[in-house]
Chains A and B, each alone.
Chain A
Amino acid sequence: MNELLAHYGPFLLRGFGMTVLCWLLGTVGGMVLGLAIALIQRHSIAPVRWGLRIYIEAIRGTPFLAQLFLLYYGGPMFGLRLDPIPAGLLGLSVYSSPYFAEIFRSAFGSVPIGQIEAARAIGMSEMSIVRRILLPLGLVSALPAMVNFSIVLTKETVILSIITVPELMYQVQRMSAETFRYVEANLALALFFWGLVELISRLGRRFETRITKHLIERT
């Protein structure tokens, strides 16, 4: 066990670091894209909305494995030749964007229409309505779903191993194949993920209590 840890420990740690990095950048990318999609859907003409709807359903409805495989191994047929990590980050961002877009859409829908009408009545611009009413209020109701989906995304990063991104799953598979020590390998996989997910959900809850204070505070 000590030998095993000494040999594979550094690989697993590095793999975990890569997993966290890909997850973080992919999630942020997906949130930004998703927010943009949700806002454009709200403020544009019907054909654009339909186009975005098709994008959402097509990306959301197909597995990440297939998308990533087609992007990385199929892309070169169309002149799109990416290295594993950029391909992984692009893939994760695109894959997660429709989920975030849907979360934001429903969050914006939950903002009471009266608030927006009141803001218009006092002459607020559409831009500041988005910035000062839609986003802050929408975020409150979107947060649990955003945290929930971010947690799902941690697990989707394991698929990056098929395009040789040296993340945790890649290292675990390698250790498992070389040593046949599948118990230790799977244990490591579970512990690393549990730690990461616990951290994300704690941070999420703390943030949630902070921004829902006004809903709970009593007179």
Chain B
Amino acid sequence: MFSWTTFWESFIPLLWAARFTVLVSGLGIVLGLVIGALICAGALSPWKPMRIFAALWVSFLRGVPLLVQLLLVYFLLPVIGINVPALVAAVGTVAICASAYISEIWRGAINALPRGQTEAAKAIGMAPLPQWTRIILPQAITMSLPALINELILLVKASSLVSVVGILEITRASQAQAATTFRPLEVYLAAAFIYLAINLCLAGVGRWLEHRMAV
């Protein structure tokens, strides 16, 4: 029943489509980490409007499905005269959506650090900046690494939704392949292997960083 021919042949179009998965999720990760750090800083800021902004950002972006966000960006912005190219809309939306999850991971890690540590640092006369760079951040980043890698792997898989703006990534290519060969099992299995290869790279980087940063 299982057609090995279809399975092997599926790799050609799927690998070709993987370019877009890697591009969209790669750029999405980099931008998402930067925006996520800013939002996290906002959430922890002493200034209330900033905290409210960060809370709304997280609430909206985690609450509304990425699919709907993409539809909004690509199909509602043109109505008010902003016409973004598909790839820009895809990368931007994925990055912004990811930033909400990433900022929550970092906020959680920072909040979980015992207050005694910063108090001790203050007591020995450490300035605020080194308190952050030498005490809080190194610990929070190490602690949050596994959760962060979890999130980045999810992001690679969630990038499949960008097909709604017409980008032919792995999942979309597998649907097309399944519809012409009428052998979805073989095709989805091949797609799973390609995603696995990409995500193993991410997980590997994560493990390596964890070992390096472990105290």
Point out residues on A near B: beta carbons under 8 Å: 57-58, 60-67, 69-70, 73-74, 77, 99, 102-103, 105-106, 109-110, 140-141, 143-145, 147-149, 151-152, 155, 158, 186, 189-190, 193-195, 197-198, 201, 208, 212, 215-216, 218
A-B contact pairs, 5 of them (CB 8 A): A61-B153, A143-B108, A144-B111, A151-B62, A201-B58
| Nearest-Cβ distance from residue A140 to partner chain B, whole angstroms | 6
Give the contact stretch, choosing among B22-30, B45-53, B124-132, B195-203: B195-203
Taking chain B's interface residues, is the majority helix, strand, or loop, or is none over half, making it mixed? helix
Q: Give the residue of A70, A141, A198 whose beta carbon is less than 8 angstroms from that of B59.
A: A198
Report yes or no: A70 in contact with B189, Cβ–Cβ below 8 A: yes
Taking chain A's interface residues, is the majority helix, strand, or loop, or is none over half, making it mixed? helix
| Nearest-Cβ distance from residue B157 to partner chain A, whole angstroms | 5
Report yes or no: A58 in contact with B196, Cβ–Cβ below 8 A: yes
Which residue of A has the minimal Cβ distance to B108?
A144
Q: Give the residue of B1, B147, B203 whose beta carbon is less than 8 angstroms from that of A106.
A: B147
Give the docked Cα–Cα distance between A194 and B171 (Å). 26
Q: Is the interface on chain B under 10, 10 to 19, 20 to 34, or 35 or more residues?
A: 35 or more
Contacts A144-B105, A212-B112 given: A65-B171 contact, CB under 8 Å? yes
- Contact partners of A69 in chain B: CB under 8 A: 184-185, 188
Report yes or no: A60 in contact with B62, Cβ–Cβ below 8 A: no
Report yes or no: A62 in contact with B192, Cβ–Cβ below 8 A: yes
- Contact partners of B1 in chain A: CB under 8 A: 77
Report yes or no: B185 in contact with A74, Cβ–Cβ below 8 A: yes
| Nearest-Cβ distance from residue B103 to partner chain A, whole angstroms | 10
Q: Which among A57, A141, A144, A208 has the greatest number of chain B C-beta atoms within 10 A?
A: A144
Which residue of B has the minimal Cβ distance to A141?
B112
Report yes or no: B195 in contact with A105, Cβ–Cβ below 8 A: no
